[in-house]
């Protein structure tokens, strides 16, 4: 028997998500996965590991609701935002019939989850400024149930125009959910659309503790939406999705005292980002540095594969974005500690401008 042929057809042809970990690399400066550069330390306080955890831990919902400014019933907690991306399709999209829509260059998991589940994709490229192409989106809405948007957008770093978001939410009100992935909103909280939840019943917001909270290792994400949407998602989530240690640590991370620490960490990352914005253009190999509201910078080089290779040789691992539409020669640099930023700039300054000059 050929085991390959035993798998579902769309799984046979699936290219799995190329996570930073899967792509790998070697070095001691990891600037490829938008993680926070230092590990926080939390004790484990819950010793009831013989018991199943609460399905939706009430204390954790209450703590995040307070942090985000929503009501508990507008909230679901899951194994990272990635699980929520897939649960939405599982709950709302009929395989081989319904579509999701997304706008590259953007986060890769929307497409990978859809392919895994046999849900069709409408792919509408962002405009040259990476804002939504509303006329093209409007023309492509037939059988679209879910629209996945990301703001700040990974990997371009820009926020989506709020007037465009409002228009899209209004147009799709009776037809589709608009999911705004706010994985990086803690780096610019004033731009969250969370306070629109009471206005738009078809708005869904995704959040995570993986980025600004420095907790990618515990796998904890949040979905915020109308309570009716939350109830539907809770029908398809696993019975006990949240491990007791995850909940224990997440609760500590959301304490008033730690929220102060997170705020300071965010400010440190923003300071380092601004420093990089100023010094990167001095490097001969750099063509263009794009504005970012998040914890990375997207940079266009004259010859990105040369830069990528030379930095790996120095133990500095970046993320290649060159295969996304419109991002030829672009690398994404996660903002690390100041020391890591300085090391990166020294390595870049040593690279000549090897690209094809006019």
Ligand X SMILES: *Cc1c(COP(=O)(O)O)cnc(C)c1O
3-state helix, strand, coil in the chain (%, to 5): 40, 15, 45
3-state DSSP assignment of residue 154: coil
Minimum distance, C-beta of residue 308 to ligand X, in the bound complex (Å): 20
* d(C-alpha 156, C-alpha 34), whole Å: 13
| Beta pairing, strands 203-208 & 177-181 | parallel
Q: Could you check whether the bond before residue 294 is cis, i.e. omega within 30 degrees of 0?
A: no
* d(C-alpha 283, C-alpha 285), whole Å: 6
Binding site for ligand X (CB under 6 A): 34, 80-82, 107, 150, 154, 181, 183, 208, 210, 216, 221
Minimum distance, C-beta of residue 273 to ligand X, in the bound complex (Å): 16
Select 210 or 329, whichever has its Cβ closest to ligand X. Answer: 210
Minimum distance, C-beta of residue 181 to ligand X, in the bound complex (Å): 5
Q: How far is CA 64 from the centre of its chain?
A: 18
Select 150 or 311, whichever has its Cβ closest to ligand X. Answer: 150
Torsional sign, CA 75, 80, 82, 86: negative
Minimum distance, C-beta of residue 270 to ligand X, in the bound complex (Å): 17
Minimum distance, C-beta of residue 285 to ligand X, in the bound complex (Å): 26
Select 36 or 107, whichever has its Cβ closest to ligand X. Answer: 107
**Which value, in Å, is the radius of gyration of the alpha carbons in the chain?**
21
Nearest CA among 73, 107, 87, 54 for reference residue 242: 54
Q: CB neighbours (10 Å) of residue 257?
A: 7
Select 251 or 351, whichever has its Cβ closest to ligand X. Answer: 251
Of all residues in this chain, which one has the CB nearest to ligand X in the complex?
80
Q: Which two tokens stand for residue 295?
A: 């914890």
Minimum distance, C-beta of residue 214 to ligand X, in the bound complex (Å): 12
Select 81 or 348, whichever has its Cβ closest to ligand X. Answer: 81
Select 99 or 110, whichever has its Cβ closest to ligand X. Answer: 110
* d(C-alpha 298, C-alpha 301), whole Å: 10
């Amino acid at each position: 028997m050929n085991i390959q042929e035993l798998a579902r057809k769309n799984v046979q042809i699936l290219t799995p998500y190329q996570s930073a970990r899967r792509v790998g690399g070697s070095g001691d400066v990891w600037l490829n996965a938008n993680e926070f550069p230092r590990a926080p330390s939390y004790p484990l306080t819950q010793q009831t590991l013989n018991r199943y955890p609460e399905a939706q831990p009430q204390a954790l919902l209450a703590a995040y609701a307070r942090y985000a400014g929503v009501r508990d019933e507008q909230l679901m907690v899951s194994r990272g935002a990635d699980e929520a991306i897939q649960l939405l399709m599982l709950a709302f999209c009929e395989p081989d019939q319904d579509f999701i829509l997304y706008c590259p260059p953007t986060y890769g998991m929307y497409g990978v989850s859809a392919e895994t589940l046999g849900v069709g994709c409408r792919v509408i490229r962002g405009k040259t400024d990476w804002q939504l192409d509303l006329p093209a989106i409007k023309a492509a809405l037939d059988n679209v149930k879910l629209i996945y948007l990301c703001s700040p957008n990974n990997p371009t770093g820009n926020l989506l125009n709020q007037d465009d978001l409002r228009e899209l939410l209004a147009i799709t009100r009776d037809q589709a959910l608009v999911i705004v992935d706010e994985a990086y909103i803690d780096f610019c909280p004033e731009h969250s659309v969370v306070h629109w939840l009471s206005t738009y019943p078809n708005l869904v917001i995704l959040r995570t503790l993986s980025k600004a909270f420095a907790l990618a290792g515990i796998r904890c994400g949040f979905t915020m939406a109308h309570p009716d949407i939350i109830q539907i998602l809770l029908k398809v989530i696993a019975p006990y999705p949240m491990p007791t240690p995850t909940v224990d640590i997440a609760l500590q991370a959301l304490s008033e005292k730690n929220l102060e620490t997170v705020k300071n960490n965010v400010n440190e990352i923003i300071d380092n980002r601004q420093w990089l914005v100023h010094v990167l253009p001095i490097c001969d190999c750099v063509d263009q540095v794009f504005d970012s509201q998040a914890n990375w910078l997207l940079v266009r080089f004259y010859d990105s594969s040369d830069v990528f290779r030379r930095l790996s040789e120095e133990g500095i691992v970046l993320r290649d974005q060159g295969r996304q539409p419109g991002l030829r020669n672009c690398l994404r640099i996660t903002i690390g500690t100041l020391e890591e930023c300085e090391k990166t700039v020294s390595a870049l300054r040593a690279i000549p401008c090897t690209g094809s000059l006019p």
